[in-house]
Chain A
Amino acid sequence: MSSVADASVAPRASAWGRFRRWLANPWGRPRFLPLLTWGYVAWSIVPVLIAVQFSFNATRSRTNWEGFSTRWYWGDPVDSVWHDPTLRNALVQSLKLAVADVVIATPIGVLLAIGLARWHGRGSGTSNFLMLFPLVTPEIVMGVSLLLVFTEVFTFIGTGTTAQILGHVTFSISYVVVIVRGRLFSIGRQFEEAAADLGASPTAALTRVLLPLLMPAIVASAAVVFAISIDDFVISQWLSSGGETDTVPVKIYSATRAAPLPSTNAIASIMMVLTLASITLGFLVWRAFTRGERRAGQSVVKDMGALEI
């Protein structure tokens, strides 16, 4: 009995042999890929988590953990985000710019995308290509240029909130165009043709068919615009007219250079949460709107990847 069992077992390779086979098999389970991926995730997230942790520190230290507290958010009567007027002001200014940016850049970008995707005339190719320029132009160059425009040419604008909003809108439109245009290409012309075929005027085709179909892309691009506007440092800084119009990133920058307190970490954490929330919201809305369109097994991430961002 035992001899039969023994005969059926293949001679076992040595441990070293098995290890070499495991290492050399390119079709086996990935071995270093998960390691690299998790290594990268840790490398990029851990510093952020530590910064967030110290925003809850009980003392003024940003390096020694001395207990949990929320004093830097609202507890401290002088230096908390809630009580320090400069920090609160920066937060309000950032939100103001981001909301204005979303409200102005999204509709313009959507209309531009429709125009660019549906116009096939002389110069349409060039225009489509030029739309990508703001995405690749170094922000510092755009900041300087805009500053010159607002202080030398359109002097009635000058620096300040208006200039900052215009600056943000300028570079945000490209993101909207790219996202919405991707969606336009993926839905094709057939739905507009079907609408026209069923007697819809061009206006009705736009409002009844095209815009509802573009809704996920519109929401997603609004979320992206909100996130990049909140996040922006260079343009906000160049076009700022001083303390009153400093945004959160500008404030963090200057505070860190002077005498940093955990309240800086606190406001940075708030900003991060806002960015994450807007992106998550965009993602969820996209998923809800396109639920019926995905083929089985196709993930939302892949679907959004098809946006050609």
Chain B
Amino acid sequence: MARGEIRLIGLTKRFAEVTAVDHIDLDIAPGEFFSLLGPSGCGKTTTLRMIAGFEQPSEGRIILDGTDVAYTPPHKRNVNTVFQNYALFPHLDVFDNVAFGLRRAKRPKNEVKERALQALALVQLGGLESRKPSQLSGGQQQRVALARALVLNPSVLLLDEPLGALDAKLRKTLQIELKTLQREVGITFIYVTHDQEEALTMSDRLAVMNGGQVEQIGAPQDVYEDPETLFVADFLGVSNLMDATAQGAHDGRCRVRADTFELAAGSGAIDVTGPAKIVIRPERIELESREAASGPNRLPGMVERLVYVGAAVQVIVRVATGDALQVLVPNTGKSLPYQQGTPVQVHLPVEALRVLVADEAGEAGPAKDAALAEASGRD
């Protein structure tokens, strides 16, 4: 039996003044690691709290394994939450924290003990049963919170920025652990985060949210490589955005004019005409010297600044259109032949250049879903 399938239908939450979540539709498959990604205030946490039952939707339905649970109180839902600050009960020790849910479910004593110890072993905390939460490090507290939620074997596990309070190195380790754990237990995870890297590395699929609405849903690669809206392109990773005028499709590409330069964009909304934005990832731009090859999709420019970021060098190039483009050059150990003021030319490969409608308003959810199906069919 498929457990942990969750469907949100027209889910809406209005607070006194603002609409935090605005008619969102999501289908999350059993056993999926699904992320809700967006800036603060985009409605991702409110969505999660509605699924958990802490907020009542103003409208819409939450279908969990075939039953509408939108108005079921939280203690009667088969979902569990890992809270942002863990919310471990400070007056109980680690074991009692993990056993809390089992005891509320009136499980027999020996089963409580067995399952709680198992859950603690699962998160590698065996032997710490009698510690108080305050005697644990942040990472350990996070694991206790995870064990406490997983021990009840929920259909869906909700995680509200669970790694937010940890330092960068620990986050990386726990990201991998969390993903492995999720595969192991096979429970549906809904993961809320504002950290795009976290969402990209862990999720099977993710939804990018903005202003209470879902901007795009898809696998990390699809969302990163084929952002459908300017917001997604801008929010996920670094994107170079340039104003341009689209002149319609031609040979499966879009001819665009940026300032006085003619360029061809190979992906995105290639059949639009009129004002548009062209987008390219910094790692996809190729930096060439002025004397090198000439050809289409090249813009002359001048190096404005070099920023050493460790694994790569960020080169800011002011191109002839007036835009400053960020170019990411991998650090291979050789010093770059560029410095501030070096005249260069940038090559924007046709397949890497993406054209997006300048005004993203008015894009309806279903249309996007159709586009998504198309996008995933293409891979």
- Asked if A204 and B104 sit within 8 Å, CB to CB, the answer is yes
Docked pose: A168 CA to B88 CA in angstroms: 38
| B residues in contact with A292, CB < 8 Å | 90, 132-135
- Asked if A213 and B152 sit within 8 Å, CB to CB, the answer is no
Q: Is B308 part of the binding interface, using a Cβ–Cβ cutoff of 8 Å?
A: no
Q: Is B91 part of the binding interface, using a Cβ–Cβ cutoff of 8 Å?
A: yes
- Asked if A293 and B87 sit within 8 Å, CB to CB, the answer is no
| A residues in contact with B133, CB < 8 Å | 292
CB nearest neighbor in B for A189: B54
- Asked if A213 and B75 sit within 8 Å, CB to CB, the answer is no
A201-B75, A292-B134 as given contacts; A195 in contact with B100, CB under 8 Å:
yes
- Asked if A196 and B53 sit within 8 Å, CB to CB, the answer is yes
A190-B87, A191-B89, A213-B91 as given contacts; A197 in contact with B135, CB under 8 Å:
no
Using a CB-CB cutoff of 8 Å, which residues 55-87 of chain B contact chain A?
73-76, 79-81, 83, 85, 87
- Asked if B85 and A293 sit within 8 Å, CB to CB, the answer is no
Docked pose: A50 CA to B73 CA in angstroms: 63
Q: Is A198 part of the binding interface, using a Cβ–Cβ cutoff of 8 Å?
A: yes
CB nearest neighbor in B for A201: B75
Taking the nearest CB of chain A, how far is it from the CB of B190, in angstroms?
14
- Asked if A196 and B100 sit within 8 Å, CB to CB, the answer is no
| B residues in contact with A209, CB < 8 Å | 89
Taking the nearest CB of chain B, how far is it from the CB of A120, in angstroms?
11
Taking the nearest CB of chain B, how far is it from the CB of A85, in angstroms?
47
Q: From A193, A204, A215, give the contact of B74 (CB < 8 A).
A: A193
| A residues in contact with B76, CB < 8 Å | 199
- Asked if B132 and A199 sit within 8 Å, CB to CB, the answer is no
Docked pose: A291 CA to B132 CA in angstroms: 11
CB nearest neighbor in A for B135: A292
A197-B80, A199-B75 as given contacts; A212 in contact with B91, CB under 8 Å:
yes
A193-B54, A193-B74 as given contacts; A199 in contact with B91, CB under 8 Å:
no
Q: Is A200 part of the binding interface, using a Cβ–Cβ cutoff of 8 Å?
A: yes
- Asked if B85 and A190 sit within 8 Å, CB to CB, the answer is yes
| A residues in contact with B148, CB < 8 Å | 198
Taking the nearest CB of chain B, how far is it from the CB of A217, in angstroms?
13
| A residues in contact with B134, CB < 8 Å | 291-293
| A residues in contact with B80, CB < 8 Å | 197-198
Q: Is A306 part of the binding interface, using a Cβ–Cβ cutoff of 8 Å?
A: no
Q: Is B299 part of the binding interface, using a Cβ–Cβ cutoff of 8 Å?
A: no
Q: From B74, B132, B152, give the contact of A196 (CB < 8 A).
A: B74
Docked pose: A205 CA to B103 CA in angstroms: 12
Q: Is B361 part of the binding interface, using a Cβ–Cβ cutoff of 8 Å?
A: no
Q: Is A148 part of the binding interface, using a Cβ–Cβ cutoff of 8 Å?
A: no
A195-B100, A292-B133 as given contacts; A200 in contact with B89, CB under 8 Å:
no
Q: Is B101 part of the binding interface, using a Cβ–Cβ cutoff of 8 Å?
A: yes
Docked pose: A283 CA to B71 CA in angstroms: 43
Q: Mark A178-218, 1 if CB is under 8 A from B, else 0.
A: 00000000000011011111111110110011001101000
CB nearest neighbor in B for A211: B91
Docked pose: A208 CA to B375 CA in angstroms: 51
| B residues in contact with A194, CB < 8 Å | 81, 83, 87-89
Taking the nearest CB of chain A, how far is it from the CB of B318, in angstroms?
47
A190-B83, A292-B133, A292-B134 as given contacts; A197 in contact with B91, CB under 8 Å:
no
| A residues in contact with B135, CB < 8 Å | 292
A193-B54, A212-B91, A292-B135 as given contacts; A199 in contact with B81, CB under 8 Å:
no
Q: Is B52 part of the binding interface, using a Cβ–Cβ cutoff of 8 Å?
A: yes
Taking the nearest CB of chain A, how far is it from the CB of B193, in angstroms?
18
| A residues in contact with B367, CB < 8 Å | none
A190-B85, A209-B89 as given contacts; A200 in contact with B104, CB under 8 Å:
yes
Docked pose: A199 CA to B152 CA in angstroms: 9
Docked pose: A200 CA to B75 CA in angstroms: 6
- 6 closest cross-chain pairs (CB), A and B: A292-B134, A198-B101, A194-B87, A190-B87, A196-B74, A199-B104
User: Could you show 20 A-B contacts with beta carbons less than 8 Å apart?
Assistant: A190-B85, A191-B87, A193-B83, A194-B81, A194-B89, A195-B75, A196-B73, A196-B74, A197-B52, A197-B74, A197-B79, A197-B80, A198-B75, A198-B80, A200-B104, A201-B75, A204-B104, A205-B75, A209-B89, A213-B89
Known: A190-B83, A196-B54, A198-B100. 20 other contacts (CB 8 A): A193-B74, A193-B87, A194-B83, A194-B87, A197-B52, A197-B79, A198-B152, A199-B101, A199-B104, A199-B105, A200-B100, A200-B104, A201-B75, A202-B75, A204-B104, A213-B91, A289-B91, A292-B90, A292-B133, A292-B135
